[in-house]
Structure 1
């Protein structure tokens, strides 16, 4: 996983929405959405909660 993907997952795990994640990482919401889309595909996750759970179980965050 990339540094950005890990950062987005970490912020998602803290319960932040796309707008807050974008401000925190100083990128656009579009970039956050694309990163989450890539994460969901990579982790084969059905939703955000599933992606976070998978990342926690596998020590990715």
Structure 2
């Protein structure tokens, strides 16, 4: 299980990216989503706060949508 965070700041396209704690692009302004078996459940948790949450292209590619 890995710890995930969601970026509190919107990207230019309106998304709030979900990152693993080990991501090189982990934002400073973030909300802890806790531990998850994969990015899928982390994104579900993030969407409770930000309906446009999306996986990070680099660390959560499986959950990344364009």
TM-score range, shorter chain: 0.3 to 0.5
TM-score by length of 1: 0.35
TM-score by length of 2: 0.33
Q: Which has the higher helix share?
A: 1
Q: Which has the higher strand share?
A: 2
